[in-house]
C-alpha cells in the first residue's frame, strides 16, 4: 500500500496538551488523520494521511440514514525506554472485518488497517502522552456513503483513523465504580448486532446510560434481552466476577461484544493460576454472592476502561456493595500485570505487544 502523505505545515500544527494528567477521554484530536475509500469496481483505493479536518458527505449518505457504521478502539503506548507499542492490533483489525460483514459493509483488509495505524501513529508520535495511565487512543471508523434513500448497503465506503491522547476513561481513575443493573431497557438481543462494534448499539444504550448517570452511577450493567435474568456486559466494558479463586465472565452469546481485553484477561488469569469460567451468569447468583460473601470482587474490562473495579451494583431499588467498595487483590494483580505488559514494563509471554517505532 502506497500511502500519500500531506503533512500539515509546522507553523499550522496544533499546540500540544500542557498537562497529560488532565487529558480525560477523547476531547482533543491530533493534527492528521488517515483515510481510504472503497468504490464498487475499484475496491479499496486512495490511502492518504492529511490534516484532521471535517468531511463533506452527501446528505443522502447511507450512514446518515441507516447507520451503516462500525468502529474500533485501541491504544498506542509509550514505554519507558521510548518504544511505541500497540496491544494486539490484529485483533481489532479482525473484529472490524467481522463487524463489517455483519452489517453488509465492504470489509477492510487487515493489512490496510494495520499499515494505516502504524504510519499515522508514527507521524503523530509527539502526541503520545507519557504520564502514567495515559496513551494515544486510536479510533478506526468505517462508514457507508453513496447517495440513495432505498434501504440497501452502500456502494461506497470511507475508512478513517483519528487519534486522541487520553487519560482515564472514568473520572474516578483506577477506583471502584458504581453500576446500575438495568432491568427495563436492553442493549442487544441474540440474533441482532450486539457482537458487532456498530454505532447503533451505542445509540441504543444512551437513554439507559443517561438515566443511570443522573442517579449517580457510572454506567449500566445490561441484562439479557429475553428474560432480563442473565448478565451481559457494561456500557463500554465486558464484566468479570470473582468467586474465590475463580473468575467468571458471561460467555459470548452473540449479543455482547467479544472484547479483546476480556480475551486477554482470561488468558492472563489462567497463566497466573486462577480458574476461569465463561458461562451464563444470572443476576440472582451475583446478588446472592454479594450477600453471602462468595462474590469477592468484580471488574470491567475494555480498551478505554482498561480494568475497572466495580464497587457496587444497584438492582431493583437496592444497593449491593462488593469488597466494601475497595479494589480487590485479584483485580489489582490483573491490572498491574496487564498494564505492565501494555506499557512494555513486564515480560510479554503471549507476544501481544507490537513495537511499531521509537519516540
Q: Please report, as ranges, the residues that interact with ligand PLP according to CB under 6 A.
A: 73, 233, 236-238, 257, 259-262, 301-303
Q: Using the 8-state DSSP alphabet, how is residue 7 labeled?
A: P
Nearer to ligand PLP, 140 or 146 (CB): 140
**230-249 mask for ligand COI (x: CB under 6 A)?**
------x-------------
Q: What are phi and psi of 141, to 5 degrees?
A: -140, 145
Closest residue to ligand COI in the complex (CB): 73
Nearer to ligand COI, 236 or 356 (CB): 236
Nearer to ligand COI, 31 or 233 (CB): 233
Which of 85, 62, 228, 68 is closest to 147 using CA atoms?
62
Find which of ligand COI, ligand PLP, none residue 301 binds, CB within 5 to 8 Å per kind. ligand PLP
User: In the bound complex, what is the minimum distance in angstroms from residue 231's beta carbon to ligand PLP?
Assistant: 13
Nearer to ligand COI, 315 or 335 (CB): 335
Q: Is 341 in the site for ligand COI (CB under 6 A)?
A: no
Q: Is 304 in the site for ligand COI (CB under 6 A)?
A: yes
User: In the bound complex, what is the minimum distance in angstroms from residue 305's beta carbon to ligand COI?
Assistant: 6
Binding region for ligand COI (CB under 6 A) out of 43-51, 147-155, 298-306, 335-343:
298-306
User: In the bound complex, what is the minimum distance in angstroms from residue 51's beta carbon to ligand PLP?
Assistant: 27
Q: Is 89 in the site for ligand COI (CB under 6 A)?
A: no
Q: Is 145 in the site for ligand COI (CB under 6 A)?
A: no
Residues with Cβ < 8 Å from 69, sequence gap 6 or more? 63, 141, 142, 143, 144, 198, 199, 200
Rounded-to-integer distance, Cα 312 and Cα 180, Å:
9
Of the candidate residues 28, 73, 228, 254, the single one contacting ligand COI (CB under 6 A):
73
Strand segments, DSSP code E, in the chain are: 4-5, 32-39, 43-51, 69-71, 74-78, 83-87, 135-144, 156-166, 177-182, 219-223, 231-234, 238-243, 246-249, 275-278, 295-302, 306-315, 318-321, 353-358
Query: Could you tell me what percentage of the chain is helix, strand and coil, using 3-state DSSP and rounding each to the nearest 5?
Result: 25, 30, 40
In angstroms, what CA-CA distances link 110 with 4, 91, 302? Answer: 19, 9, 21
Longest dimension (CA), the chain: 63
Tell me which residues touch ligand COI (CB under 6 A).
73, 236, 302-304
Amino acid at each position: 500500500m502506497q500511502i500519500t502523505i500531506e503533512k500539515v505545515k509546522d507553523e499550522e500544527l496544533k499546540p500540544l496538551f500542557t498537562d497529560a494528567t488532565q487529558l480525560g477521554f477523547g476531547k482533543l484530536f491530533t493534527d492528521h488523520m488517515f483515510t481510504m475509500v472503497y468504490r464498487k469496481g475499484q475496491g479499496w483505493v486512495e490511502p492518504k494521511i492529511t490534516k484532521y479536518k471535517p468531511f463533506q458527505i452527501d446528505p443522502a449518505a447511507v450512514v446518515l440514514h441507516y447507520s451503516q457504521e462500525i468502529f474500533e478502539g485501541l491504544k498506542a503506548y509509550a514505554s519507558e525506554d521510548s518504544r511505541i507499542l500497540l496491544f494486539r492490533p490484529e485483533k481489532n483489525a479482525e473484529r472490524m472485518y467481522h463487524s463489517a460483514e455483519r452489517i453488509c459493509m465492504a470489509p477492510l483488509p487487515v493489512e490496510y488497517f494495520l499499515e494505516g495505524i502504524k504510519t499515522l501513529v508514527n507521524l503523530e508520535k509527539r502526541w503520545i502522552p507519557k504520564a502514567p495511565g495515559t496513551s494515544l487512543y486510536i479510533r478506526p471508523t468505517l462508514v457507508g456513503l453513496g447517495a440513495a434513500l432505498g434501504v440497501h448497503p452502500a456502494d461506497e465506503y470511507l475508512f478513517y483513523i483519528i487519534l486522541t491522547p487520553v487519560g482515564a476513561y472514568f473520572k474516578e481513575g483506577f477506583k471502584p465504580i458504581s453500576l446500575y443493573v438495568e432491568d427495563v431497557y436492553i442493549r442487544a438481543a441474540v440474533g441482532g448486532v450486539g457482537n458487532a462494534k456498530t454505532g447503533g448499539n451505542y445509540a441504543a444504550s444512551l437513554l439507559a446510560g443517561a438515566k443511570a448517570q443522573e442517579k449517580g452511577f457510572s454506567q449500566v450493567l445490561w441484562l439479557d434481552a429475553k428474560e432480563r435474568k442473565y448478565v451481559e456486559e457494561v456500557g463500554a466494558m465486558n464484566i468479570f466476577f470473582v468467586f474465590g479463586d475463580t473468575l467468571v465472565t458471561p460467555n459470548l452469546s452473540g449479543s455482547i461484544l467479544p472484547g479483546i481485553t476480556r480475551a486477554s484477561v482470561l488468558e492472563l488469569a489462567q497463566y497466573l493460576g486462577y480458574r476461569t469460567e465463561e458461562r451464563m451468569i444470572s443476576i440472582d447468583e451475583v446478588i446472592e454472592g454479594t450477600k453471602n460473601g462468595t462474590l469477592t470482587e468484580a471488574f470491567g474490562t475494555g480498551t478505554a476502561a482498561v480494568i475497572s473495579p466495580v464497587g457496587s451494583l444497584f438492582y431493583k431499588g437496592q444497593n449491593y456493595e462488593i469488597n466494601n467498595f475497595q479494589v480487590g487483590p485479584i483485580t489489582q494483580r490483573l491490572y498491574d500485570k496487564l498494564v505492565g505488559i501494555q506499557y512494555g514494563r513486564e515480560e510479554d509471554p503471549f507476544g501481544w505487544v507490537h513495537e511499531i517505532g521509537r519516540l
